[in-house]
Structure formats: structure tokens, C-alpha cells
Amino acid sequence: MSSEMTLEIITPEGIAFQGVVDEVTIPGTEGEFGVLKGHAPMLGSVGIGTLSIEKDRSRIFYAVNTGYAQVSPTRLTLLLETAERSDLIDQQRAEKALKRAEEKIDKLSRDDIEFAMAQAALKRALARINTAGKS
Amino acid sequence: MAALKDIKRKINAVQKTRQITRAMNMVAASKFKAAQTRMQNFRPYAGSFMEMLGDLSSRVSVESHPLLAVRETKRIRAILMTSDRGLCGGFNNNLIKVAERFIIQKQNEGLEVELIPIGKKGRDHFKKKFKTRDARSDVFGKIDMALAVSIANDIIPPFIAEEYDELYLIYNEFVNVSVQKPQTLRIFPIPPFKQAEEKDISNEIEYIYEPSAKTILENLLPMYVHVQIYRAIAETSAGENGARMAAMDNATRNCEEMVSSLTLKYNKARQASITSELMDIVGGTEALAKS
């Protein structure tokens, strides 16, 4: 088996993380899944939520927003729309976004096109608040 | 001595203009740097994305995805990206010219063309002369993926609903600071992807897909549109600021030239006035001495 696993988190704004890690827990669209070194090759889609990275017995958290995970035994590449490290999250802004999304959802009917968008915004805000609380 | 004063005033005015153009050049330079960094940061994402898409499309085939549908072309739309502000040389004009040529060419083929202007300059130019829709302006201040997604949401549903049959993107390809190249790119129907090069052994391994490979590929196609739009916006923005830098640099240089030629003129006029005064005095004393 390979001895280590390299994680790379790539977003449109640049490379958010690059390094050797022990374990990564990913919020997949089909449910959370963990990746250790030596994982079978896999391509999975990532949803909105908290990504957790374990390295040398300490954990780093990222609030992530939709993308894809490409897994090979020695390499994990995450292509994500956004990834924010927990200690860099602006909690107040996230809470404001949450409030805005909640108000929007109250006003809209379920089959409105904007409803799904507001729902996604709500999820994103919640993910950021939850992630920020974990650091 | 009115001429002297006039020249002096003109010199002052040109010097002030030079200060402004130089300041604008510096502002454009810092914006350009930010735009260039954005473009560079985006490269790994776009690269990995295209790699993944190419790899996946060589394993699974999607014949029936609505974004790949080739229909008999009757109505087409074109996104035109221009900047919001001027003073950047021929940058916007070049893009507008390409758009005009494109429209005429397509209309001659008997197609119905609609334009989606992004950026104030293109919008204002075509507002009265041509059918436009979904116009946007003031978008270059904050460029992110959400913007690309929101533009894509204007164009994807009508294409699937068969409101139009082809979509083109007219944008500025960034070559380097001084070279801007207007480009026309077809977005819909999405052209077939380049198959991955000769597969090596690691590619032979079966992948696990979560959810199914087909679902992933279907979700990747709209993302391909996002990536293309984002890239076009980033390149157009870098091009705009590069062009403005060059234009303002030129303007500053022209001001300097003007100042030096005006100073020369000023000195000549000053000398002439001194000479004529001297002549008066000399003439006066000579007249006195004679008497």
C-alpha cells in the first residue's frame, strides 16, 4: 500500500490546500464519506457542508460548496466552487446571509425558481456557521 | 504679451492632464495585477476540471444531454463582453466591431440573432440599434463563480426550452498587456470533448462513481459552461485593464511631448519679446543721441 495521501483543494480563486494528510471526511451529495490512503479510485460529487481534514492528530475544517472529488490511492483532488477554512470564516456575514435566505424562503412559494436558489444559500450559510463553530 | 500668458496657461493645463493620466495608469496597473492574479489562480481549477471532464466523457457517453443537442439552426444568441468604462484605447471598439461583423454575417445566412451584452459599453452601443436581452453592467467590480453561474442561469434554461439553437460568446482573449484579441467561441451546443490522450495503465482502473457516472457527467456539463464564462470574464477584465494601462501610458507620454514643445514655444516668445523691447530702448537712445 502506498505510504501517504496528498490532498489538493482547488477552487476558482486558487489552490486552497495542498499537502500530505491522514484522513479526509467529505460531505458528498449521497452522504458523508471518509477517504484514507489507499482508497479505491473514485469520482464523487461533493455537496454543501463541512469538510474535515485530519493530519498529525489535529483537525482542520473547511466550509465547502459543491464540486467533485477525484480519489486515487495516493491522491485526493477536490474541485470545489468555494472552500473557506474555519478560522477565516466571517461569522457575522454568514449569520446575515442566513437571515436573508430565511426571509426569502418565507416569501417565496415552493415551486418558484428562486426557491431552490434561496434554499442553497441557506444551506451554504448554515454550513459556514457550523464550520466556524468547530475551530 | 498676451501670447506669453496664453502659452503658460496651456502648459499648466497639459501638466495637470498628465498628472491625471499618470494616476489612471497606476490605478489600471494595480487592477491589472489583480485581474492577472485571478486568471492565474483560476488556471489549476480549469485545467483539472477539463481533465476530469475529458477523462469521464471518454468512459461514459452522453448522447442525449440537452446541452449537446444539435438542432437545425434558426435563432442564435451571442454574449458580448465589453468593459463598463472607457479610456482604454480601442478595446471596446474592437469587440463591438467583431460583434457587428458577426451579426451581419449570421443575418446574411438568414438567422435570427439576439445579443446579450455584458458590460456597459457594449450595452449602450447596441441598445438602440439591435435586439438585446438579459443585459448586465457593472459586473467587473466583483468577479466570482457566483456571477458566472448567474449568467449561465440566463442562458441554459432557454436553450433547453429550445427558444434558441446556438450560443456564441464574444470576449477578449488576453494574450499579454499590449495584445488583446477579440474572440468568438461557440458555447451551445457544447462541442464534443477532446478524448483523453492514449490511456496509461492507471487509467485502466475501474472508478467507483457516486452518484452514477452518467449523473456526474450530466452535472459537469453546466459546470463546463460556468468555467467558460468565468474564464471569459476574467480574461476580458484583464484585457480591459491592460489596454487602459497602455492607453494612459501613451497619453502621459503625449502630454510630456506637448509640454516640452510648448515650453520651447514659450521660451522663443519670451526671447522675441525681450529682443523687441531691447530694440525699442536702443532705438530710443540712438534717437536721443542724434538730437
Task: Reply yes or no on whether the pLDDT at B4 is more than 90.
Answer: no
Which residues of A, range 96-115, sit inside 8 Å of B by Cβ? none
Task: Reply yes or no on whether the pLDDT at B200 is more than 70.
Answer: no
pLDDT-wise least confident of B52-56, B245-249, B278-282: B52-56
Query: What's A90-131's CATH class?
Result: mainly alpha
Question: Would you place residue B62 in the very low, low, confident or very high pLDDT band (cuts 50, 70, 90)?
Answer: low
Report CB contact under 8 Å: B52, A79: yes
**What Å distances lie between residue B118 and B148, B184, B277, CA to CA?**
11, 15, 64
What is the interface size between A and B, counted as CB pairs within 8 Å?
Answer: 62
- The helix/strand/coil state of B83 is coil
| Percentage of the residues of chain B whose pLDDT score is greater than 90 | 65
Domains of chain B, first to last: 26-246 (3.40.1380.10)
A43: nearest CB among B48, B216, B230: B216
How many Å apart are CA B98 and CA A108, to the nearest integer?
42
Give the pLDDT of residue B177: 84
Give the pLDDT of residue B155: 94
Please determine whether the domains at A5-87 and A90-131 fall in the same fold group of CATH.
Answer: no
Determine the distance in angstroms separating the CA of B33 from the nearest CA of chain A, rounded to an integer.
14
Give the number of other Cβ atoms within 10 Å of residue B81's Cβ: 31
Residue in chain B lying closest to A82 (CA):
B145
Q: Does B208 contact A at CB distance below 8 Å?
A: yes
Report CB contact under 8 Å: B52, A33: no
Instruction: Could you please state the CATH topology (level 3) that the domain comprising A5-87 is classified under.
Output: ATP Synthase; domain 1 (2.60.15)
Q: Which residues of B touch A39 (CB under 8 A)?
A: none
Q: What angle do CA A46, A49, A54 make, to 5 degrees?
A: 85
- Extract the C-alpha cell encoding B154: 440566463
Q: Which of B49, B56, B210, B227 best probes binding to A when mutated, by most A CB atoms within 10 angstroms?
A: B210
pLDDT digits (tens, 9 = 90+) for B201-237: 455 567 888 888 888 888 888 999 999 999 999 999 9
Q: Does B213 contact A at CB distance below 8 Å?
A: yes
Give the pLDDT of residue B201: 47
Report CB contact under 8 Å: B216, A45: yes
Report, as an integer, the average pLDDT of B90-96: 94
Residue in chain A lying closest to B36 (CA):
A13
How many Å apart are CA B164 and CA B177, to the nearest integer?
36
Sequence letter at residue B272 = A
Q: Does B209 contact A at CB distance below 8 Å?
A: yes
- Extract the C-alpha cell encoding B265: 514655444
Report CB contact under 8 Å: B48, A79: yes
- The helix/strand/coil state of B249 is helix
- 135 residues of chain A, pLDDT tens digit each: 557 899 999 999 999 999 999 999 999 998 999 999 999 999 999 999 999 999 998 999 999 999 999 998 899 999 999 999 998 888 899 999 999 999 988 888 777 777 888 888 889 999 999 888 886
At which residue does the C-alpha cell 468604462 appear? B85
pTM of the model: 0.85
Report, as an integer, the average pLDDT of B2-11: 88
Contact B129, B150 (CB under 8 A): no
Report CB contact under 8 Å: A41, B210: no
* Secondary structure (DSSP) of B128-174: TTS-B-S-B-S-TTS--HHHHHHHHHHHHHHHHTTS-SEEEEEEEEE
* Secondary structure (DSSP) of A51-102: EEEEETTEEEEEEEEEEEEEEETTEEEEEEEEEEEGGG--HHHHHHHHHHHH
Instruction: Report chain B's mean pLDDT, rounded to a whole number.
Output: 89
pLDDT digits (tens, 9 = 90+) for B235-262: 999 999 999 999 999 999 999 999 999 9
Report CB contact under 8 Å: A68, B220: yes
What is the biggest distance separating any 2 CA atoms in chain A, rounded to whole angstroms? 54
- Spatial CB neighbours of B217, under 8 Å, sequence gap ≥ 6: B53, B56, B57, B60, B62, B65
Domain boundaries, given as residue ranges, for chain A? 5-87, 90-131
Q: Which residues of B touch A82 (CB under 8 A)?
A: 145
Question: Would you place residue B145 in the very low, low, confident or very high pLDDT band (cuts 50, 70, 90)?
Answer: confident
Contact B79, B167 (CB under 8 A): yes
